[in-house]
Structure 1
Amino acid sequence: MSKVFTHNRQVEFNHCDPAGIVFYPRYFEMISSVCERFFSDAVDFSWAGTVMKQGYGTPMGNIEVRFHAASRLEDWLDFSLNIKKIGNASVTFLITCSCAGQPRFTCTATLVYANIATNASHPWPDAPRAAMQHYITPSLD
């Protein structure tokens, strides 16, 4: 049975337009935050340690989002992250966001493990690859 990484956060004023509705580019910041928390909390592979100490990063290679409903100031958003696929130097996530059980968006995001100095992809190290394996959900094709 695969694991699901979950994270929740409240919509803040800085996420919203003047009407108090989340301005859609802010969702991309939230998606990035969920990915960062996943690597740090679930995989024990912090971006600070990876980027600052080792010279590697995980730039976004592809992202697709389907919005289902608006979120508003002070809503509590529940994020769930599963892995669709781990490649040699990439990982594809399925991230869903809901509020009180109501879907807000569904996202497929592919991150690439890359050497910052050369801007070239690089195979995942063994430890994070092994930790990520627990989150693969094969039925998410």
Structure 2
Amino acid sequence: MSFTTTRKVRFEHCDPAGIVFYPRYFEMLNACIEDWFDARLGHSFGAIHVEGGHAVPTARCEVRFTAPSRIGDPLALRLKALRVGRSSLDLEIEISSRDETRLQAGFTLVHVSQATGRPVSWPAPLRDAIETEIARAGDASTTEGEVPNGS
């Protein structure tokens, strides 16, 4: 089961040609990850980064752009958790519009201590939530959860 959130391509996302300027996709991708942490894992980035003294930076991001998105396009961002390590997490996100893939991305996030900047183990409740998501992703019979955003 994947996690889906939606966005609408706005003028602010576009270059003078009216297509999404690629750095804006990275903002959308990060927002999708934040939405997933909050809605599905029950751990907001605010709680992790501000209250918890930890951070979840991106250690790897690979992106393949397959088609342009234009002002007004509705975008669906589908996140799937693939693997959790001691302190790492592999995700894939696909952005599509009207059943056409626009972008495919692979991420590795790392749970780190803000004090040292070094990787630290996922806290047990967060690890359990991630493992549940990975198990759900492997179960094709479950339905997707969707969080509309519109921005």
Give TM-score scaled by structure 2 length: 0.87
Runs of 4+ in 1 over 3 A off after TM superposition: none
Could you list the runs of 5+ residues in structure 1 that have no partner in the other structure?
Answer: none
Who is 1:107 aligned against?
105
Alignment-derived partner of residue 26 in structure 1: 24
Q: What CA deviation, in whole Å up to 9, does each residue of 1:41-77 have, x standing for no partner?
A: 1101101111111111100000000111000111110
**Higher relative contact order structure (alpha carbons within 8 Å, sequence separation ≥ 6):** 2
Report the equivalent of 2:83: 85
In the other structure, the counterpart of 1:16 is 14
- Where does structure 2 lack aligned partners over 5 or more consecutive residues? 139-151
1:121 is paired with a residue whose SS is coil
The TM-score normalised by the length of structure 1 is: 0.93
Match runs of 1:34-49 below 5 Å? 34-49=32-47
TM-fit CA distance, 1:135:
2.3
Paired residues, number:
137
Residues 8-38 of structure 1 show CA distances to partners (whole Å, capped at 9, x for unaligned) of 1101111110111000111111110100000
The equivalent of 1:53 in structure 2 is 51
Amino acid at match of 1:105: L
Q: 1:66 aligns with which of 64, 88, 93?
A: 64
| Alpha-carbon contact 1:5-1:135 (below 8 Å) kept | no
